[in-house]
Amino acid sequence: MDRHKDVKAFIMQRFVFLSVGCVLSEYFQVIRMTFRLQRCCYKAFAALMPASSIGLMDNRGYRSSGRASLFTVFLIFFLVSCATHDKYSGPGYVVASWYGPEFHGKPTSSGEIFDMHAFTCAHREYPFGTILKITNGATDKTVRCVVNDRGPFVSGRDIDLSYAAANEIGLVGKGTSTVRIDYMGRDDSYIKKVRSLSDRGPFTIQVGSFREVDNSARLKTALELKYGEVYIAEKEIGGQRYYRVRIGSFQKKSDAYRLAKTLADEGYSILVVGYEGKR
């Protein structure tokens, strides 16, 4: 009986760890944790309980039992709950600032042209198209805005509101303030599809192409918040110089496509093209 209690305590402890992991981890990280937990718990069962009572491998092959089936049901339940958990669903308090005339009419990281009079915002992490409700506690005013840009790039600030959004909650005069953000969902039209222009490797991922170097530099800085090996490749076409923002070098197209899909789901317009070097 003591052994059985120890096993139950062991399993419950691991389930608690998994539940915490659901809050802290993303979907695929949770899947890996779940399979590791499954292997760990089966080993514990094998060591502490008779094989005949838990349905582990015996000399006649793999045999299931009620307890093993129940254990599998628990694993599936936790996996589904983790996969459907939205890490953005809870409210939070952050420092907000705003931006306007200096960037009006210039491309955002999502590719949209920044309109200081539209209700948009910039965030380092939220996917493009995320809808946030911003509440300024000092004025008790709220506004809804759509994430379509990356930033802010100033230490100590967490979200940049457009002039219109900041003005709506009385933030313009003060410049910065602690606000509450509530996740309200996402506009799925921001999710992009991966396009490919090359079938011969090596490959690279193109996220944007600009005539103005400043625009390419801003996108490069935005991508470097999360991704490595971001570079700008210059190319002259028809007498016009273009600055193309690209990521990485991949020998296999499947490897390039994997990262490209992540970027496209985040809301970037993506091309998989042939790698021409970092020049």
In the DSSP assignment, the letter for residue 61 is B
Pick from 261, 254, 259, 216: nearest CA to 234? 216
Residues 6+ apart with CB under 8 A from 6: 48
Q: Quickly list DSSP for 167-186.
A: HHTT-TTT--EEEEEEEEEE
Q: What mean pLDDT is predicted for residues 41-52?
A: 47
Q: What mean pLDDT is predicted for residues 138-147?
A: 97
- pLDDT in the model for residue 23: 41
* Percentage, residues of the chain above pLDDT 90: 65
Pairing of strands 141-149, 120-123: parallel
One-letter amino acid at 16 equals V
Quickly state the pLDDT bin for 87 (edges 50, 70, 90): low
Q: What mean pLDDT is predicted for residues 91-109?
A: 95
Assign domain 194-274 to its CATH superfamily: Sporulation related repeat (3.30.70.1070)
User: Has residue 16 got a pLDDT over 80?
Assistant: no
Radius of gyration of the chain (CA): 25
- pLDDT in the model for residue 82: 44
CATH classification of 92-189, choosing from 2.40.40.10, 2.60.120.10, 3.40.50.300, 1.10.3720.10?
Answer: 2.40.40.10
Domain locations along the chain: 2-84, 92-189, 194-274
- pLDDT in the model for residue 33: 44
Q: Look up the pTM and report it.
A: 0.69
Exposed e or buried b per residue across 13-39, where buried means at least 16 C-beta atoms within 10 angstroms of its C-beta: ebbeebeebbeebeeeebeebbeebee
CA 177 to chain centre: 26
CA angle 265, 228, 103 (to 5 degrees): 70
